[in-house]
Amino acid sequence: QILVTKQVEVVLIQSSFHSKIAFFPLNLLLGQMTDLIYTEKELVQSLKEYIKAEESKLDAVKSWADKLDVVTRASTLDPEGYLAHPVNAYKLMKRLNTEWSELESLVLQDPSDGFISNMTVHRQYFPDQEDEKGAAKALMRLQDTYKLDSESFARGKLPDSSHQRAGGNLRYFEKLLSKQLNELNQEGQEPATEEPIQLGTYKRPNDYLPEREIYEALCRGEGVKMTTERRSRLYCRYHDGNRNPRLLLQPMKEEDEWDSPHIVRYLNALSDQEIEKIKELAKPRLARATVRDPITGVLTTANYRVSKSAWLEGEEDPVIERVNQRIEDITGLTTQTAELLQIANYGVGGQYEPHFDFSRKEEPDAFKTLGTGNRVATFLNYMSDVEAGGATVFPDFGAAIYPKKGTAVFWYNLFRSGEGDYRTRHAACPVLVGSKWVSNKWIHERGQEFRRPCGLTEVD
């Protein structure tokens, strides 16, 4: 029988901020875990086969029981008369010596072996308890950041988001669920139920700062300081990389996203084919994203960065080499001293809280082991559209830049003097719906001496 769950019950959990929501755990990293959907489908099929085998076994045992019941009813009416016939005496010996042993073997057969074996094979890919807790935290993070109403969120309603696909899916599954429940009711079966998940009370991170209010407001599209005057200073143009031969015939389309600090977006920076190849190369290597410890310079995981990432070298595939060369052509900066191309996947709830890409004066050893100086610039490729959430925001000056597949944004982290531009502190907002793929190139100071000469003042 197919088990159908009722519509998931919503549990409201009060906190000092507003109600929290707990329902089915959301997948944090869709890019790597979509295979689990098909794994679960395969396990359901295996479970059905096990049930069928059990039913077949019980049918066989029942057939034996019915047959033996008829025999024993006759034999016990007149045991001596029954055994007086030599054939009946032989059959009794045969049944007890052979047939009951065969029945015992049948009863001892375990049809679950195939199902258990299948479970064992797939269990190594199952999410663990930490993943489940992470999914629960993602739900609370989303509700807290986007100030979502619990009951509306449970019904699939998102703030300021038409999201036709999500709405259509919700209506489809509600209709399907209603149909299956009606079928079960007609058959007199009780549908299976799911216990509500208790998440506990949400608490702000220990490193809570007033900046977080600005960051979260920008994620919601509030407080963006794009005035009419500022917009009038933004332009679009064709960019040939200072007459770079590779860009002369097909220059890049460049759009200003912000005036000061200057942030630009390049259209058609990556083709769909290049994006798919990069994702194909990265997926087997995706691991919890790390940050560089400001004291030791060692890479480590952090709660404020929730994503998975991988690093790809140019020698691994012509596509990576081509992307690196394109970044160099566009920016005019050498990528020979840059870090490897980093690919990151942010699933639902995935985020990177406000941070600097460059190392500050109090972090003199952050990039010491690389020997290439500080991160002078950031080139960020958007490799997917994001249906809701996932903006790149700059709390200092109130900018919000939204992902658009195939485009890239670029900004300098350092002034020409080598001093850090503290205005470039930025964050990746939590993904509300969808999956966000990006790849970034952190370009370092070494090798840029003649490509971006030093300035004469502190903040050139």
Summarised one tens digit per residue, pLDDT across range 81-90 is 988 888 988 8
Output the six-digit token pair for 329.
């052509």
User: What pLDDT, on the 0 to 100 scale, is given for residue 203?
Assistant: 55
CB 307 within 8 A of CB 279: no
> What residue ranges do the domains of the chain occupy?
30-124, 211-444
Output the six-digit token pair for 258.
């912000």
User: What pLDDT, on the 0 to 100 scale, is given for residue 21?
Assistant: 28
Residue 337 predicted with pLDDT over 60: yes
Choose from 59-63, 114-118, 433-437 the range with maximum mean pLDDT: 59-63
Beta bridge partners of 399: 394
Question: Which one is predicted more confidently, 198 or 174?
Answer: 174
Per residue, what are the HEC states of 288-334?
A: ECCEECCCCCCEECCCCEECEEEEECHHHCHHHHHHHHHHHHHHCCC
User: What pLDDT, on the 0 to 100 scale, is given for residue 32?
Assistant: 55
Phi, psi at residue 5, to the nearest 5°?
-85, 150
Question: Which one is predicted more confidently, 179 or 143?
Answer: 143
Q: What are 14-70's pLDDT values in tens digits?
A: 232 232 222 333 334 565 567 788 889 999 999 999 999 999 999 999 999 999 999
Among residues 160, 438, 423, 123, the alpha carbon closest in space to that of 275 is found at 438
Find the range with the poorest average confidence among 132-141, 296-305, 327-336: 296-305
Output the six-digit token pair for 116.
């258990």
Q: Which residues of 136-145 are buried (b: 16+ CB within 10 A; e: fewer)?
A: bbbbbbbbbb
- Contacts with 351 (C-beta within 8 Å, 6 or more apart), sequence order: 141, 145, 304, 305, 306, 307, 427, 428, 429, 430, 431
User: What pLDDT, on the 0 to 100 scale, is given for residue 199?
Assistant: 46
Average pLDDT over residues 386-410: 96
Bond prior to 261 in cis (omega within 30° of 0): yes
Cα–Cα distances in angstroms (integers) from residue 87 to residues 68, 75, 83, 90, 95, in the given order: 16, 13, 8, 5, 12
Residue with tokens 């769950």: 5
Find the range with the poorest average confidence among 32-46, 256-270, 437-451: 32-46
Contacts of the segment 180-188: beta carbons below 8 A, 24+ positions apart: 180/2, 180/4, 181/4, 181/6, 184/4
User: What pLDDT, on the 0 to 100 scale, is given for residue 24?
Assistant: 31
Among residues 84, 28, 58, the alpha carbon closest in space to that of 308 is found at 28
Q: How many Å apart are CA 431 and CA 408, to the nearest integer?
A: 18
Residue 433 predicted with pLDDT over 80: yes
Query: Where does residue 321 rank: exposed (0-12), middle (13-18), buried (19+ CB within 10 A)?
Result: middle
Residue type at 26 in one-letter notation? L
Contacts of the segment 128-135: beta carbons below 8 A, 24+ positions apart: 131/28, 132/25, 134/28, 134/306, 134/349, 135/25, 135/26, 135/27, 135/28, 135/349
Give helix 211-219 / helix 129-146 axis angle, nearest 10°: 90
Query: Where does residue 80 rank: exposed (0-12), middle (13-18), buried (19+ CB within 10 A)?
Result: exposed
| Residue 373 three-state SS | coil
% the chain with pLDDT above 90: 54
Residue with tokens 């769909």: 272
Q: How many Å apart are CA 296 and CA 288, to the nearest integer?
A: 19
User: What pLDDT, on the 0 to 100 scale, is given for residue 136?
Assistant: 80
Q: Which CATH superfamily is domain 211-444 in?
A: q2cbj1_9rhob like domain (2.60.120.620)
Residue 359's pLDDT band (cuts 50, 70, 90): very high
Count CB neighbours of 4 within 10 A.
15
